[in-house]
Amino acid sequence: MNQRIPSLRTPGIDHKKIILEDTAARQSEIQRFNKRLRIGLILATIASFVALSLYFSNIWKRENAALESRLETYTELRDQTLKRFFVSLENEVKLWSIHPDIVKDAKNFIKDWEEFSPQEIEAIRQEYIYKKLPTSLSDVYRDYNNFHAEVHPTLDKFNRHHGYYDVFIFDLEGNLVYTVEKEDDYGYNFQTGRSIYADTGLGRIFRAALSQADHNAVVFDDFEGYAPSAGDPAAFLASQIVDEEKQLIGVYAVQVPIDRFNEVLSHSQGLGETGQSYLVGEDLLMRNQARLSETNTMLTTQVENAVVKEALEGRRSLKKVKLVNGDAGIAAAMPLTFKGVNYAVVTEMSLEEKRAPLRPYVLFYVASVVCLLLFGLIAYVILRARPGRTLQDLADMGGQES
């Protein structure tokens, strides 16, 4: 006997007109709808993840490119500064080698030197280098001393004003008749085979200057250890000394100041704690004191990497390299050529410091991905849950209770 469910009857309603739904079909429809929602959710999550990844990838590339551009810009600035430094030295040598005061001083020193005997030359060396006064003075010796006392204070101030390490005056035979610093090279002859210093950078620069057809030409000899200066690295520039009648009378040379040269490359503003610039020669040896090194690096530290080699071949370069201290890093390099000598101007920075500004973006990206995946997972689990009870479920339950 069929039982009725009182709780389902409502007064005033014609229950004959109510058509009960097919609860099985309804359940199937709900399941199909949930399945479509789950598929849509998965696709939406994947699309959001791709969009988020592309967005942060573009940020990473843009910020990374900006950092690399800054490294290249810094290298270019150092390159331009070095060029100005070298050109300034060249112009100074060109100017002072024909200056009336230098010409007058050179003529007087050379005239007296030509009259010296070998014994007097050695006596001059002993007096000015080792402060040993001679027992007797000839007239020419006395003339040289008097003229030296007259002009040396001015030349010494001139040397310090321009920041040179030393200033040299040679006669046409290669005799070094005057230097400001009076090191052991003073008084020697620099012609090939005629002195122990003939094959040094100063000897080469003297002979190179003397051989120039153009009186205004300035020649340059690259850095190397120079024995009279305690073996310290030295580079030289020289030009012919020519009087007002265009008569060649000698050679004027200067020793490039190491301190000024290092100062050009020591600026580090904007390079952080691990960034530094340096100059590398064709022998792959560093030409300056590295800012971050406590030991001497000038002509002692070899830098052999891809950016240096490409710059020495005349190409700009930016690559990941091993830094001078052995850490992983990135370096930008540019070619620089002065008087036929090729260099690589390099600026380097550790990868860790280069990536430091990008870390907030990485953390934000990771947090965004985690939130997106959690949201997708929770929504997926909810949609997978069993739908609520249907009318048929309620009817069955009511029949059992009657």
User: Distance between the two ends of the chain, CA-based, in angstroms?
Assistant: 12
pTM: 0.75
Mean pLDDT value across residues 345-367: 73
Q: Which residue has the higher pLDDT, 383 or 178?
A: 178
Q: What pLDDT, on a 0 to 100 scale, did the predictor assign at position 362?
A: 67
CATH 3.40.228.10 fits 90-259, yes or no: no
Q: Residue-wise over 340-377: b if at least 16 C-beta within 10 A, else e?
A: ebbbbbbbbbbeebbeeeeeeeeeebeebeeebeeebe
pLDDT of 124 over the 60 cut: yes
Q: What pLDDT, on a 0 to 100 scale, did the predictor assign at position 6?
A: 54
Tens digit of pLDDT for each residue in 127-170? 999 999 887 789 999 999 999 999 999 999 999 998 899 999 99
185 in Cβ contact with 179 (< 8 Å): yes
Q: Return the structure tokens found at 28.
A: 């199937």
Interatomic CA distance for residues 234 and 236, integer angstroms = 7
pLDDT of 103 over the 70 cut: yes
C-beta atoms surrounding 23 within 10 Å: 16
- At the fourth CATH level, which superfamily is domain 73-86+273-356? PAS domain (3.30.450.20)
Q: Which residue has the higher pLDDT, 12 or 254?
A: 254
Percent of the chain scoring above 70 in pLDDT: 79
The ranges assigned to domains in the chain are 73-86+273-356, 90-259
Tens digit of pLDDT for each residue in 205-226? 999 999 999 999 999 999 999 9
Tens digit of pLDDT for each residue in 17-56? 544 555 666 667 666 766 776 677 677 777 777 776 776 7
Q: State the pLDDT confidence band at 263, using cuts at 50, 70 and 90.
A: confident
Q: What pLDDT, on a 0 to 100 scale, did the predictor assign at position 53?
A: 73
